[in-house]
């Protein structure tokens, strides 16, 4: 007989989801009300206002999509691309590849700018691609590549696009709330994120934002947006301004309570302080990892503080280590994807998971696991190295 499900208590330090704040879980348990209830509509307006602050934008078309980050990605592509549009996509990991697939599925002409996994997008390559394809209409890239832990220079890439008259689509799934995201300052035209990473919220919602230029392109499409559910012209009837909203879909009411609370928490902490917390905890983790004798895939200047790709030592069974961490410490870390599968562990320090406690807990658990497996490693130094960062 199937009975109620009670999940185990885990410490989530993988590539997502991250730990969820008790405040957010408590918010989800509040009474469900109708998705057209005046009080819910009032809360919707607060969510939009806080998302604008988190994205650092004044874009009116800023809202949460009632689906995970992959749907946010598809929302941006399906609204802005028409058949025959030439789109330059930067790929330096798994999620750039997903962008490219969106272009081809929508009938666009794909121009791929490739970089090695673990590297940032090379700005000069993008400049050359834009020069070589003056008829391109959109530049798409991943700001924070979750599969590798690399951060690309969004400001520079958006500047190249703007100078050439291209719109930009930016993946900020792992960056929003963890590092600087400045939609208006960088001139981003379409951006999407997810709730389950640095926002310390549950999975299932994707914040998006579109510039006035992007909205103009959407309004002037020759063909209708091929997705009914993700057509922003329709969705904004529900998420638009004013107290009266047109029914579009039944919004995930309690999940939006959770997003509201997570954004309240982010703004209480302050964006600058949230970014600084992620950076401090990364620096401590890096000091401990390197003291043990391990290294990172990504160069320090391009490394994400919230997603750390650590090179697996020679001869170590990476899956066994992850299994023992889960079994013995209820600690989850992530495996490598794509070209980095079997070569790295992906250790997340995102949102609620980005704490001094988690850094020290991970280093201690990893060292104990290495000792149990007889791995040749520098022992007794990781926590001391990390603590030296916190004590500075």
Residue 292 belongs to domain with CATH number: 3.90.1150.10
Whether residue 248 is found in the same domain as residue 114:
yes
Helices marked H in 152-252 — which ranges? Answer: 154-164, 183-186, 212-219, 232-239
Whether residue 223 is found in the same domain as residue 331:
no
CA distance 196 to 350: 9
The answer to whether residues 284 and 359 touch, using CB atoms and an 8 Å cutoff, is yes
Q: Give the tens place of pLDDT for each residue, 208-251.
A: 999 999 999 999 999 999 999 999 989 888 887 655 788 899 89
CA distance 229 to 247: 12
Whether residue 159 is found in the same domain as residue 47:
yes
Whether residue 312 is found in the same domain as residue 223:
no
For residue 11, tell me if it sits in a domain.
no
CATH number, position 164:
3.40.640.10
Give how many domains the chain has, as a whole number: 2
For residue 196, tell me if it sits in a domain.
yes
For residue 362, tell me if it sits in a domain.
yes
For residue 384, tell me if it sits in a domain.
yes
For residue 324, tell me if it sits in a domain.
yes
Q: Which of 247, 267, 287 is the last residue of a domain?
A: 267
For residue 8, tell me if it sits in a domain.
no
Confidence (pLDDT) at 11: 98
Whether residue 96 is found in the same domain as residue 128:
yes
For residue 14, tell me if it sits in a domain.
no
pLDDT, tens digit only, all 392 positions of the chain? 999 999 999 999 999 999 999 999 999 999 999 999 999 999 999 999 999 999 999 999 999 999 999 999 999 999 999 999 999 999 999 999 999 999 999 999 999 999 999 999 999 999 999 999 999 999 999 999 999 999 999 999 999 999 999 999 999 999 999 999 999 999 999 999 999 999 999 999 999 999 999 999 999 999 999 999 999 989 888 887 655 788 899 899 999 999 999 999 999 999 999 999 999 999 999 999 999 999 999 999 999 999 999 999 999 999 999 999 999 999 999 999 999 999 999 999 999 999 999 999 999 999 999 999 999 999 999 999 999 999 99
Whether residue 250 is found in the same domain as residue 280:
no
Whether residue 62 is found in the same domain as residue 182:
yes
Whether residue 381 is found in the same domain as residue 240:
no
What is the span of the domain harbouring residue 200? 22-267
Confidence (pLDDT) at 242: 59
What tokens appear for 228 in the block?
């009914």
Confidence (pLDDT) at 247: 86
Whether residue 215 is found in the same domain as residue 335:
no
Whether residue 99 is found in the same domain as residue 72:
yes
CA distance 226 to 171: 21
Using CA of residue 62, residue 67, residue 72, residue 75, what is the dihedral sign?
negative
Whether residue 87 is found in the same domain as residue 181:
yes
For residue 2, tell me if it sits in a domain.
no
CA distance 386 to 286: 8
Whether residue 279 is found in the same domain as residue 365:
yes
CA distance 285 to 303: 13
Q: Which of 252, 267, 282 is the last residue of a domain?
A: 267
CA distance 8 to 6: 7
Q: Which of 267, 295, 312 is the last residue of a domain?
A: 267
């Amino acid at each position: 007989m199937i009975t109620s499900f009670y999940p185990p208590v885990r410490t989530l330090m993988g590539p997502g989801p991250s730990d969820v704040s008790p405040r957010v879980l408590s918010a989800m348990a509040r009474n469900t009300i109708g998705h057209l209830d005046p009080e819910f509509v009032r809360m919707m307006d607060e969510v939009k206002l806080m998302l604008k602050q988190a994205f650092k934008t004044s874009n009116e078309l800023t809202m949460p999509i009632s689906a995970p980050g992959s749907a946010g990605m598809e929302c941006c592509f399906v609204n802005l691309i028409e058949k025959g549009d030439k789109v330059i996509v930067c790929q330096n990991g798994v999620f750039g590849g997903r962008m490219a697939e969106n272009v081809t599925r929508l009938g666009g002409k794909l121009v791929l700018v490739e970089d090695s996994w673990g590297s940032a997008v090379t700005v000069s390559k993008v400049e050359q691609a834009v020069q070589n394809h003056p008829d391109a209409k959109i530049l798409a890239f991943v700001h924070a590549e979750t599969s590798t832990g690399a951060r690309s220079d969004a400001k520079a890439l958006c500047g190249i696009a703007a100078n050439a008259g291209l719109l930009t689509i930016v993946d900020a799934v792992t960056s929003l709330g963890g590092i600087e995201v400045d939609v208006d300052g960088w001139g981003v035209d379409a951006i999407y994120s997810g709730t389950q990473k640095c926002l310390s919220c549950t999975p299932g919602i994707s914040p998006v934002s579109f510039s006035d230029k992007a909205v103009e392109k959407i309004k002037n499409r020759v063909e209708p947006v091929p997705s009914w559910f993700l057509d922003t012209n329709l969705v904004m009837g529900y998420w638009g301004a004013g107290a009266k909203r047109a029914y579009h879909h039944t919004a995930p009411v309690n999940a939006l309570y959770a997003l509201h609370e997570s954004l309240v928490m982010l703004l209480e902490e302050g964006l600058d302080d949230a970014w600084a917390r992620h950076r401090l905890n990364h620096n401590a983790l890096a000091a401990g990892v390197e003291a043990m004798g391990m290294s990172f895939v990504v160069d320090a200047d391009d490394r994400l503080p919230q997603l750390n790709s650590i090179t697996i030592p020679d001869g170590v069974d990476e899956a066994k280590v992850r299994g023992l961490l889960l079994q013995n410490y209820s600690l989850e870390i992530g495996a490598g994807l794509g070209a980095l599968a079997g070569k790295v562990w992906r250790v997340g320090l995102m949102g609620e998971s980005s704490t001094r406690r988690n850094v020290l807990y991970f280093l201690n658990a990893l060292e104990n696991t290495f000792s149990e497996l007889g791995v040749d490693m520098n022992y007794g130094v990781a926590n001391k190295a990390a603590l030296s960062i916190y004590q500075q």
